[in-house]
Structure 1
């Protein structure tokens, strides 16, 4: 009896301590980029879905943008389609684009929708092409050659760079009396009607900016941004991010995350956080506890 009472008391104390943080976010939009290990681990996936439903129940408006890199990679391997990365982004030719859209807008999107609905929510699956939600053009990226230190232009194929966001579909789903939770696959439409593969972090950042989100949460497979000694960097100012990329502290997939975080914060998003999606209840720890989780970019 004592153990049960202590557990109940601890739960009540935790809820009470979370109150001021809950009040801070009520009525606010929180854009969450969901991907990595958390998507393929069934227990973490179910936990994530419950946490998203809890946010909505508390009067917060989560918008989920998901990736699917590992799942895309597996299907490309099965089909014998070669794939490579440049500057942390997947090079996407026509054949790869077919697979990207099929995986992102199909089984991955619907599995997230089902998980949220199973947890008691009302999720709606969308593609960035729906309602012209995400508009994009061919991405132009450069990378510094490690030997010559000369900037080289990268040809990423049908990788898109957001040029516009039409939020009307999302806003319709987020009306004051609505319990709907948008789940967005980052496939965008170009001016000529061609589809583009948009990095999920970048797509989430573009949506967060257009929606005036209070927070942009980027879930990843590491604890956050790590320094060169592999220690977690709790807080990063936007102005220091170019230096972290230049000196090699940030590499690979962390580069678009940091660039997206910086851009979103500079364009009206309250703050961005890069956090560990493998940690149970990472969303709740970040939003509702004093110390948060991961790396805060402000």
Structure 2
């Protein structure tokens, strides 16, 4: 446990684990335990299924451009209600019920996350030209002021953060939770960024888990097609975070009970660890 004493670990929490009461309680216990062990956990959460459910109940239909959801004003109001409201407070309550002291905030609090509108270039239909697609109230990090996180985590409190940002005109912008967690981990110079997902981690061509990768090895697996589909942007995001100074990123199956504890406090870990270079001794033991 001394390996992470007083170190910051950012945990992105999402996927099916959030909807399973037993897994949610186990996750909360893990976060409380690592805080008691001297680690500074920062929880960043998603909430896509919960947002979709409430939009359906309110009969708010989403427009899609190039396969991407456009977030209009009505939609972003629901997003903020769900992320900064119900989902955030559920996680806070779960941690508090396990003996911790969690505080729920969003990226809007104390100007934690300044954001800019996210635009995507896409090929126009029936044309070879590209067009810029405006996704509405969707953002990406522009500037991070981690002061409020440092104040909270330097006490006995655990910050639980909803991935919302403040736009250039003071508007609320919805930010992808992985992207938000990566920007926060970079600003905090975290020792680890843990991405809890619905997959085991990075798999080789035979479907077996790859337990550790250097950044160079990960790049080669993208180039040769071993890493494909939706895993490509996730891994590219990991490479960017490591390039900015985070020691390592780990992709973990959040459906495994106590995955956070297994990753931090056992030699074999619980997912795929990605780091700049492989040291002589296991990074999970350093």
Band the TM-score falls in, shorter-chain normalisation: 0.7 to 0.9
Change (3 A) 1:39 1:59: same
Residue 12 of structure 1 is matched in structure 2 by none
Looking at secondary structure, tell me which structure has more helix per residue: 1
Deviation at 1:81, TM superposition (A): 2.5
TM-score (norm 1): 0.84
Aligned partner of 2:228 in structure 1 is 250
Aligned twin of 1:125 = 104
Alignment deviations for residues 263-290 of structure 1 (CA, whole Å, 9 cap, x no partner):
1111010100111000000001111111
Which residue among 69, 75, 83 is the counterpart of 2:48?
69
Task: Report the CA distance shift for 1:36/1:268 in structure 2 as closer, same or farther (over 3 A).
Answer: same
1:95 Cα shift? 2.0
CA contact (8 A) 1:216 1:273 kept: yes
Q: TM-score, normalised by structure 2?
A: 0.87
Higher strand share: 2
Q: Answer yes or no: is the 8 Å Cα contact 1:133–1:169 preserved in 2.
A: yes
Kindly indicate whether residue 114 of structure 2 is the aligned counterpart of residue 114 of structure 1.
no
The answer as to whether partners of 2:201 and 2:210 remain within 8 angstroms in 1 is yes
RMSD: 2.7
Alignment of 1:1-298 (within 5 A): 22-83=1-62, 90-142=69-121, 153-175=132-154, 178-239=155-216, 240-241=218-219, 244=222, 247=225, 249-252=227-230, 254-298=231-275
Whole-Å Cα distance in 1 between the matches of residues 101 and 220 of structure 2?
A: 40
Q: Relative to 1, partners in 2 of residues 1:255 and 1:153: Cα closer, same or farther, differing over 3 Å?
A: farther
Where do 5+ consecutive residues of structure 1 fail to align?
1-21
- 1:188-244 CA distance string (max 9 Å, x none): 001210110000000000000000100000001111123454332323333444862
Change (3 A) 1:160 1:286: same
SS in 2 for 1:279: coil
Once the two structures are TM-superposed, the CA of residue 86 in structure 1 deviates from its matched residue by 7.3
SS in 1 for 2:255: coil
Q: Deviations over 1:113-135 (max 9, x none)?
A: 00000000000000110000011
